[in-house]
Amino acid sequence: MRTKLFLTFLFLISIALVSNLIYQSLIIRDFNVYTRGVEEDRLYLVLASVEGAYTDEGWDRHQLTHAMQWGAMLGYDLVLLDFDGKHIATSIMELQKATPTLRRRIEAMVHIDKPVGDYEEFPLFSKDMETGFLLIRPLETRVELGAKEAMFNNRVMDFLFISFLISGGSAVLLAVFMSLYLTRPLRKLKDAAGQVAGGDLSVRVPPGPKDEVGQLVNSFNSMVESLEHEEKLRRHLTANIAHELRTPITVLRSNLEAVSDGVLPCEPGTIRSLEAEVDRLTNLVKGIEDFTKAEAYLLKPSERDTVVLLDFTRSIAEGMEKVFSDREVALSVTSERAATVEVDAGKLETVLRNILANAALHATPLAGDIARVEVRSGAAENGGFFIEVRDNGPGIPVEELGNIFKRFYKGKGSEGTGLGLSIAKELVEAMGGSISVTNSQSGGSIFRMELPHITA
């Protein structure tokens, strides 16, 4: 990661260097085009000035003198010829007519006696009529224009080089800093992940900056905390299972040894006692199987099924009718309205069956009353829906309300495994809902679950 990040910055620096070189060549090219344009403009100014000295009567000597002097001031040696090649005027001759002040000004800018190169011939026109020829060659300037151009080009190169050094150096320093700064938490994450892979679930990565890397660190810490919590639950579950299995197995072993030694007679009462312990083991194993299925449910992504709430609860109640009839418990299903909901039907069915099974065990009202369990459903105030299971039993002791959803917790006189309600709670929370239990003022307990995604 660090190497890739550093190479990325080097790539960007290379792009900046190439961009600087291209920019430099473009600036120098544009400057040379500009200087050539200025030179051409000066040349055409001289031609226009000389052409302007021609009138219908011929050359205006006074205006021609000014034009030739102006050409010398711009750095040109000028010779005016007619069609026969006869000299009409030269800039050297016309400068002799200049005032001393003007001559000093011109000589301060150019060497009037030091022409450079050969003459270049240009035709002159007046009213579309050719009037003669002007021979032009540059004079040596006292301030070398080429030196100025070279100086400008050098300054451009120096500026671009310095700017590249500043930007490139800054980029290199930033690359080193960022590669170290950004990869530090990633290296810590890698080391921590190795420790977790080795079985150490107590490791945590110090929180980083509040950016994507910091969020990754927080997610990693949350993941390890969840793993650590699940590991504690697994150990606790294993210990609970061992404890729950040990009691009936010990009873079975001791009773069988007593029968084998002749201490207990092998009569129907003894056999029924042994069968009860076997049934207890069977129920416990079945509860563990249900819990394992629920764990698998929790690992699976939630599915969305569209169901009519009243029909759904009624079908589950009908499927458990025999459980309630065997215990002489009346089961009824009502709904505030025929709501249609989106929910994971498989998980919700498991939850409702566990709660109904628990209600069937505890729906033991006072003498003279009929045991009843009611399933109610409808729209909740938070925009979702609810399902309530009410019984008219004695209710749940206040001291047990806080433990009712814990794994393997069984209240006084409970016949279950202590897993059904914990399974229900975990599945409801996995679907984004909540479950609670309260005692009714009129007697009995009320299990209420609230879930989102009501559609109609």
Q: What percent of the chain has pLDDT over 70?
A: 79
**What CATH class has 2-148?**
alpha beta
- In this prediction, residue 212 carries a pLDDT of 73
- In this prediction, residue 138 carries a pLDDT of 86
CB half-sphere exposure, 28, CA atoms < 13 A: 17
On the question of pLDDT at 1 being above 60, the answer is: no
Pick the CATH number of 212-297 from 1.10.287.130, 1.20.1250.20, 3.40.50.720, 1.20.120.450: 1.10.287.130
Residues 378 and 385 sit within 8 Å (Cβ to Cβ): yes
Distance CA 46, CA 446 (A): 109
pLDDT band at 448 (very low <50, low <70, confident <90, very high): very high
Q: Please give the helix or strand (H or E) that residue 55 lies within, else none.
A: strand 54-55
pTM of the prediction? 0.44
Mean pLDDT of all residues belonging to the chain: 78
Residues 194 and 31 sit within 8 Å (Cβ to Cβ): no
Residue whose token pair is 């990325």: 8
Average pLDDT over residues 233-238: 67
- In this prediction, residue 219 carries a pLDDT of 83
- In this prediction, residue 408 carries a pLDDT of 65
Cα angle vertex 423, ends 327, 201, to 5°?
Answer: 155
User: CATH fold of 301-451, please?
Assistant: Heat Shock Protein 90 (3.30.565)
pLDDT digits (tens, 9 = 90+) for 38-82: 788 888 888 888 888 888 888 888 888 888 888 888 888 899 888
Query: Where along the chain do its domains lie?
Result: 2-148, 212-297, 301-451
Q: CA dist 162 to 17, 24, 166, 198, 299, Å?
A: 11, 12, 6, 53, 60
Range with the largest mean pLDDT of 5-19, 252-266, 283-297, 354-368: 252-266
- 98 vs 150: which has the higher pLDDT: 98
